Homo-oligomer: A and B are copies of this chain.
Amino acid sequence: MKKFAILFVLIISLCQVHGQQPVQLKSPEILKDNSVIFRLNAPEAKSVKLQGTMNTGWEGLEMNKNQDGIYEIKIGPVDPEIYVYTFQVDGVSILDPSNNIVTRDGSHIESSLVISGEKTDVYDVKDVPHGNVSAVWYPAEKLGMTRRCMVYTPPGYESSKKSYPVLYLLHGGGGDEEAWLGRGRANYILDNLIAQGKAEPMIIVIPNGNLMATSAPGETPLELRTKQNQQEMGTPAAMVGEKMQHSLVEDLLPFIEANYRVNKNKEGRAIAGLSMGGYQTLKTSNLYPDMFDYIGVMSMGVYTSVDDGFNKEGFKSKIEAIKKADPKLYWIGCGTDDFLYQLALDLMKIYDEVGLDYKYRESSGGHTWNNWRLYLSEFAPMLFK
């Protein structure tokens, strides 16, 4: 017994020195019926609210002190989905200190809540073979920098001699190369679809879509950080001009095709993206109509208009070129509550005029990761077949 007592004391000491408080509260606590209790110890706070993607509303839900003086709220039953949430303590946003699973999308950093069920079956980490995910640096000569992309290799890639097709997957405005993994669960979605025999094993390449960045914030070289501090970051840079698209096809694509066992032809290449990444997908496929046999535009519309003073005829001639290249799949997904919904409808009107064949997936909901995970889980099974 004595040795365990000593061991216990030492481990507690180690944890404290590491700054890790023994977790005193269970939060979130998921009950059998998928109701969820959130708890926070904030004795000095005047008001604590729960704000999250679980229909808490923009204002959040007021939490109340229980008999132990702990702020608490029970919600639900909550539908199976992957959610993020924060507490608002006297108007200031905080992570749930009892929950060490945190996801980041750009500067949006929140606590994670997974309600497991049929819907999350394809998003969740399951006990199936997992593909590896690597942070890979490559020379982006068109942009004059070394950049970081994330590469998912499907289970078995490392021990096989086979060549694999590649999906280039683009994130949204404010995000970076980590967003499709942390928020989007792209690697686990593919693990599950492949394990179920629903998707072909494929490589996924996720570049950073921000023209002035090399990589996610914490991975940015000192030299660039210094430069960024000196000059205001040109925010719209990622959306204006064609540099990003040229770098994607002329820097990244050849790098991937030289360093991975991949199918180096149109049939083996797909491109898709959400929001800003949807815009970049449109623009890249318009510029290189013969490059990708699978094109996926998520939560984006006739946005191309913006940066060259929309010339409908010019745009249509690019879509004509895509039609001529006859991709195997041109896929569009948008939510009916998306603030770009009308622009997506306008985009398809043009495609109808040109006679481009496309598949349209209309979902409920808006410009959210719930939709983007859904779209990827439906788009990926249609690829490379």
A residues with CB within 8 A of B: 3-4, 6-8, 10-11, 13-15, 17-21, 23, 40, 42-47, 89-95, 97, 100-109, 112, 116, 124-127, 129-130, 132-137, 146, 148, 155, 158-159, 172-175, 182, 217-224, 235-236, 239-240, 259, 275-276, 303, 306-309, 339, 366-367
Query: Which of B97, B134, B275 interacts with A93 by CB under 8 Å?
Result: B97
Known: A18-B174, A108-B18, A366-B17. A44 touches B91 (CB 8 A): yes
Least CB distance, A348 to chain B, in whole angstroms: 19
A95 touches which of B14, B95, B112 (Cβ 8 Å) = B95
Are B20 and A174 in contact, with the CB atoms below 8 A? yes
- The number of times this chain is found in the oligomer is 2
Q: Are B20 and A108 interface neighbours, CB within 8 A?
A: yes
Contact A18 B172 (CB under 8 A): yes
Assembled-state Cα–Cα distance A23/B17 (Å)? 33
Nearest CB in chain B: distance from A23 CB, A: 7
User: Are the C-beta atoms of B220 and A125 separated by less than 8 Å?
Assistant: yes
The answer to whether A20 and B106 touch (CB under 8 A), given A125-B221, A133-B135, A134-B133, is yes
Partner of A43, one of B91, B102, B127, B235: B91
CA distance A157 to B106 in the complex (A): 30
Name the B residues within 8 Å of A103 (CB-CB): 218
* Cβ A236 vs Cβ B7 within 8 A: yes
Q: Chain B residue with minimal CB distance to A45?
A: B90
**How far apart sit A137 and B146, CA to CA, in the bound complex (Å)?**
27
Residue of A23, A116, A134, A308 with highest tally of chain B CB at under 10 A: A134
